[in-house]
Structure 1
Amino acid sequence: MLKSPDFMRPMARGEEPAVDALITAAFNGKAEVQRVADLRKSRAIAGEMVLPMDGGIIGYAALSHMIAPKGWIALGPVAIHPDHHGRGFGRRFVGMIAQWAQMSGQTVVIQGDPAFYARCGFAPIADGFTSPYPLDTIQIAGPAKTKEKALTFPKAFR
């Protein structure tokens, strides 16, 4: 019988140690764990989502308030436990976030592998924006309506 994760849900209080262990395994170190801690400490976190399976957590995604454009959300880090790579869980997990952005009218920005995020429902950012990261690695989901053209990520992203 094939096993699949439960539905994505908000991270519950007390799940931080399990999430930290997942992020450490997924990124082969503690740098991203520190990024999440910094996002939490600075109150930049807009939400933390987990992907539960068999009483554990196999996926995690942080959503943070962008400094600019106001009202936009940055997605990252996103982690799937290495034992579950290659099974489509990450694509579906991120895809649910992209679909939520479209349905809610929320703009979500991700910096990362454009080919992967395109398969999840994200699209390249329009011309005219500036970013501290190469624009060809910036993807968005949602309406992207703004007059502000400079992307400013939370301090923890630097």
Structure 2
Amino acid sequence: MVVGPDTLNEVKEEHFDEVEAVLLTAFPTDAEARLVRQLRADGDMLFEFRKSWDGKIGGYYALSRMQAPEGWACLAPMAVRPEWQGGKLAENNPNMEVGGTEDQLYRGPWRFGTRMLQELAQCYEMPTEAIDGKLPETIVVLGKPSFYGRYGFSLQRAQKLSSPYPLEYTLILRRGDDVPVAELIYPQAFPGGSG
């Protein structure tokens, strides 16, 4: 029995409208929805993933191809249906006693963003031969270090990068413990992000 959101699945064309609806409700403007449409149109989208529950997409993230360094990707956007953010889905589950022992045990598994990032980070912990050629060498994310840092993304390892965005919000996920030196050039769809 699955506790919390279902497994992570790839987004297909039949999911595009529902993904757009999630993006439009999860953010204050339509900028992220426009970004996703432009990444698809430009051919820069590597992968799109969705996490569902009860037949609805509850969480989404995109990995797009960085212009440089080659083989790197950018995690953006990432969205969770607002009414299910922060484990609220667990609170609204009639099978869960909120405030009880079950709530303490299972609330975490109902957090869409947490589960998506945990699953992504676990891929980079697998033996190299198991994922060789299936994942980008490095994934870059712009966001809160206190959040993304819990899931394998490193602020410290990104500090020798040059970027059009602030390094205090730039984190990377990759194998090893090196501190790469590289210039980040984002896909053209990112505002002010391409070189």
2:163 alignment partner in structure 1: 131
- Tell me the SS of whatever aligns to 2:189: helix
| AA partner of residue 23 (structure 2) | I
Which segment is superposed worse, 83-92 or 119-128?
A: 119-128
2:189 alignment partner in structure 1: 156
2:74 alignment partner in structure 1: 74
Normalization by structure 1: what TM-score? 0.90
CA distance in 2: counterparts of 1:116 and 1:35, whole angstroms = 22
Q: Deviations over 1:42-93 (max 9, x none)?
A: 0000010000110110111010111111001111100001111111221221
TM-fit CA distance, 1:157 = 1.4
CA distance in 2: counterparts of 1:43 and 1:148, whole angstroms = 27
TM-fit CA distance, 1:109 = 0.8
1:93 alignment partner in structure 2: 116
Change (3 A) 1:64 1:24: same
Change (3 A) 1:147 1:122: closer
1:115 alignment partner in structure 2: 146
Change (3 A) 1:90 1:147: closer
Change (3 A) 1:43 1:112: same
1:30 alignment partner in structure 2: 30
TM-fit CA distance, 1:111 = 0.7
Q: Which of 1 and 2 has greater Rg?
A: 2
Contact 1:63 1:75 in 2 (8 A): yes
- Tell me the SS of whatever aligns to 1:15: helix
Change (3 A) 1:126 1:3: closer
Identical-pair percentage: 36
| AA partner of residue 112 (structure 2) | F
Contact 1:102 1:141 in 2 (8 A): no
Return 5+ residue gaps in structure 2 as ranges: 88-110
CA distance in 2: counterparts of 1:10 and 1:16, whole angstroms = 11
Normalization by structure 2: what TM-score? 0.74
- Tell me the SS of whatever aligns to 1:153: coil
2:62 alignment partner in structure 1: 62
Contact 1:69 1:148 in 2 (8 A): no
Return 5+ residue gaps in structure 1 as ranges: none
